[in-house]
Amino acid sequence: MPGLMFEDFEVGRRYDHDGGRSVTQFDNIWYSCMTLNTQPLHSNIDFAERNGLYGKPLFNSMYTLSIVIGQSSAALTHGTLLDVLGLDEIDFPKPTFAQDTLYSRTTVNAARPRPQDESVGEIEFFHEGINQRGETIASARRTVLVRRRSSLGRSE
Amino acid sequence: MAGLYFEDFEEGAVYPHEAERTVTLADSIQYACMCMDTEPRYLSEAWAAKNSPHGRVQIHPLYVLSLIMGVQVTELTLGTTLGNLSMGGVSFPHPVFPGDTLRGVTTILGKRASSTKPDRGIVDFLHDGLNQRDEIVARCTRRGMMVTRAYKSVKA
């Protein structure tokens, strides 16, 4: 199922994404390895028990954010995304830990055509991550460039 | 611990980070999979050859950002942070492709002591990611909670 094109996005509409993703301490350590992140607060349980605010490893917030956004792509922009223009107002109101389950929802904040290029348009999303207790654990504004139906040469 | 304490941060200080890393197609595919992100522009060479203006897979921008967040840890926050509070102003001025080599540079934007907890304070960072041609590929600001030397570990 392909993602939505510029014309398909309704400003104000909220999408609750299916699935959900439980996160583990293996994820946390592997993420540190992949990103050269030497922070023991994420990858060293012994250190986190002795020094962390919560007495256990904090789940990497960049990974939390990446899962929250990643879970939106299948329903929203799969194959129609042309570029990620930027993100802003990224917040982590509550910490995430191993064994938490992350759900995502996305609201369409704005849709802006580009007068100079009718084959593309900008969509601004508000992404939210919610854990198994219904607490918001991450939120961000994200602006992407997507295809328009009028775009020529597309092969979907 | 190798990171800096709250007292050590000086506004305007610039830290080029030692760790650098070549990123590969495998990194992008694995990252997208780890984040439940089905976007073919990060996953499929066949799709990218046919549909991407670049004609090839682009490295997942949130992987690029995560790597830039990762490489700053060793010099700045290793064992001296309590967590990441928020981020903003994220942009990706140049795309990253398999085979590019990325490194990070961090500028200290400012700091503020906690008014209620003398053992910690807030530091504002500007993180830049650069490729082998010294082009900026990712940029963001970040607010982190850093400990002072007075911080006592949880189980001390």
Give the span between the Cα atoms of A67 and B86, in whole angstroms.
16
- Mean pLDDT for B73-102 is 96
Domain boundaries, chain B: 6-23+60-147
Give yes or no for residue B54 having a pLDDT over 70: yes
User: B85 φ, ψ to 5°?
Assistant: -90, -45
Short-list B105, B95, B87, CA closest to A69: B87
Query: Which CATH code fits B6-23+60-147?
Result: 3.10.129.10
Predicted confidence at residue B154, as pLDDT, reads: 61
- Mean pLDDT for A122-142 is 98
Task: Find out whether A19 and A3 touch, Cβ atoms under 8 Å.
Answer: no
Q: Tell which wins on pLDDT, A85 or B152.
A: A85
Residue B73: which of A37, A92, A156 has the nearest Cβ?
A37
Total number of domains in chain A = 1
Predicted confidence at residue B2, as pLDDT, reads: 82
Provide the mean pLDDT of chain A: 94
Predicted confidence at residue A156, as pLDDT, reads: 45
Short-list B41, B37, B96, CA closest to A66: B37
Query: B94: how many CB neighbours lie within 10 A of its CB?
Result: 15
Q: How confident is the model at residue A99 (pLDDT cuts 50, 70, 90)?
A: very high
Q: How confident is the model at residue A151 (pLDDT cuts 50, 70, 90)?
A: low
Predicted confidence at residue A2, as pLDDT, reads: 79
Q: How confident is the model at residue A155 (pLDDT cuts 50, 70, 90)?
A: very low
CB-CB under 8 Å, A62 with B69? yes
- Mean pLDDT for B32-56 is 94
Percent above pLDDT 90 for chain A: 88
How far, CA to CA in Å, does A40 sit from each of A52, B24, B55? 10, 26, 39
Percent above pLDDT 90 for chain B: 93
- B63 interaction partners in chain A (CB closer than 8 Å): 34-35, 66
CB-CB under 8 Å, A79 with B51? yes
What is the least distance, in Å, from the CA of B20 to any CA of chain A?
9
pLDDT tens digit sequence for A10-47: 999 999 998 899 999 999 999 999 999 999 999 999 99
- B83 interaction partners in chain A (CB closer than 8 Å): 41, 53, 58, 61, 92, 95
Dihedral (C-alpha) B94, B100, B103, B105: value to the nearest 10 degrees? Answer: -20
Q: For strand A21-22 and strand A81-91, is the pairing parallel, antiparallel, or unpaired?
A: unpaired
Half-sphere exposure of A37 (CA within 13 A, CB side): 26
Q: How confident is the model at residue B92 (pLDDT cuts 50, 70, 90)?
A: very high
Domain of A119?
A: 6-23+59-147
Residues 64-123 on A with a CB inside 8 Å of B are 65-67, 69-71, 73-74, 77-79, 81-92, 95
- One-letter amino acid of B108: I
- Mean pLDDT for B88-107 is 98
Residue A136 lies in a domain: yes
CB-CB under 8 Å, B40 with A51? no
How many residue pairs bridge chain A and chain B with CB atoms within 8 Å of each other? 146
Task: Find out whether B64 and B138 touch, Cβ atoms under 8 Å.
Answer: yes
Predicted confidence at residue A154, as pLDDT, reads: 47
Full DSSP string of A117-129: -TTEEEEEEEEEE
Predicted confidence at residue A152, as pLDDT, reads: 52
| Longest alpha-carbon distance in chain A | 59
CB-CB under 8 Å, B83 with A40? no
Predicted confidence at residue B37, as pLDDT, reads: 95
- Mean pLDDT for A93-118 is 96
For A111, counting Cβ atoms within 10 Å of its Cβ (0-12 exposed, 13-18 middle, 19+ buried), the class is middle
